[in-house]
Amino acid sequence: MIIALDGPSAAGKGTLARRLAAHYRLALLDTGLIYRAVGARVLADRGEGGETDRAIEAARKLQPQDLEQPGLREEAVGAMASKVAAIPEVRLHLIDFQRRFAKTPPGHAAGSILDGRDIGTVICPDADVKIFLTASAEARAERRFQELQAAGATTIKARVLADMHERDVRDSARSAAPLVPAADAFQLDTTTLSADQVFDRVVAHIDGRISRRGS
Ligand code: CDP
């Protein structure tokens, strides 16, 4: 089973993806980490040639262990990830890595779940299940603000909302694999839902699909 889970920042994908992976025994790939790893390399190599060329080179050379490096969750890395993610050649170099994981998940898992922006539309258009999570910009900024505070970062909510808006616009307006729900995705607005409610609704949807497929 392949599950494609897409949506904007802080819509609740990460929490849901971890819970679904444990529930259905699936290998999980947070594809945002791939773009973050490329963004981190571009930031580290500052000053050596143009940003676009450095990003393409970093995407070409990406190794699985690059996703494990510390610091990938920092806001500056997320902002650079969203910039490099708009470069078509960067995305092209990263397609095989993601499809390989989806089709041959590590650790003898029963399948895979990939969380990102274009999994249901570009990376795994034949996924068995496609989910698209959304939430209002204010709700997402509030969640991200809480996460940042819990991690000890000093920031203000207005700044988090402004950064998120900038990233939403860039992710949705880019010509290469923009953030859009697949036509056959199960869409869920999580603005007023708890993590448990989101999990329960998505599991009901997936189990419904599995039983229809089995009958
Ligand atoms: O954690 P958060 O939702 O803020 O971001 P992320 O999922 O780690 O992704 C960081 C950036 O990578 C996003 O803003 C997107 O621009 C880009 N991305 C993408 O273009 N395609 C994906 N499949 C995953 C992430």
pLDDT in tens, 26-47: 999 999 999 999 999 999 988 7
Tens digit of pLDDT for each residue in 116-158? 999 999 999 999 999 999 999 999 999 999 988 898 888 889 9
- Domain limits for position 129: 2-214
The answer to whether residues 90 and 45 touch, using CB atoms and an 8 Å cutoff, is no
Domain count within the chain: 1
Site residues for ligand 1, CB cut-off 6 Å: 9-10, 31-32, 35-36, 78, 81-82, 85, 116-118, 167, 171
Q: What is the pLDDT of residue 34?
A: 98
Classify the C-alpha dihedral 165-132-201-17 as positive or negative. negative
Q: Which atom of ligand 1 is nearest to the CA of 6?
A: 23
Tens digit of pLDDT for each residue in 154-196? 888 999 999 899 989 988 898 988 899 999 999 999 999 999 9
Structure confidence at residue 49 as a pLDDT band (50, 70, 90): confident
Q: Which atom of ligand 1 is nearest to the CA of 98?
A: 23
In percent, how much of the chain has pLDDT > 70? 100
The answer to whether residues 131 and 4 touch, using CB atoms and an 8 Å cutoff, is yes
Q: Which atom of ligand 1 is nearest to the CA of 177?
A: 20
Q: For position 178, which CATH number holds? A: 3.40.50.300
Structure confidence at residue 108 as a pLDDT band (50, 70, 90): confident
Task: Return phi, psi of residue 84, to 5°.
Answer: -70, -25
Residue nearest (by alpha carbon) to ligand 1 atom 23: 116
Q: Which atom of ligand 1 is nearest to the CA of 83?
A: 16
Which of the listed residues 16, 31, 35 should we mutate to test ligand 1's pocket, taking the one with most ligand atoms within 8 A of CB? 35
Cα–ligand 1 centroid distance for 9 (angstroms)? 7
pTM of the model: 0.93
Q: What is the pLDDT of residue 19?
A: 98
Q: Which atom of ligand 1 is nearest to the CA of 164?
A: 4
Query: What amino acid is encoded at 128 in this protein?
Result: D
Cα–ligand 1 centroid distance for 8 (angstroms)? 8
How many other C-beta atoms can be found within 10 angstroms of the C-beta atom of residue 121? 21
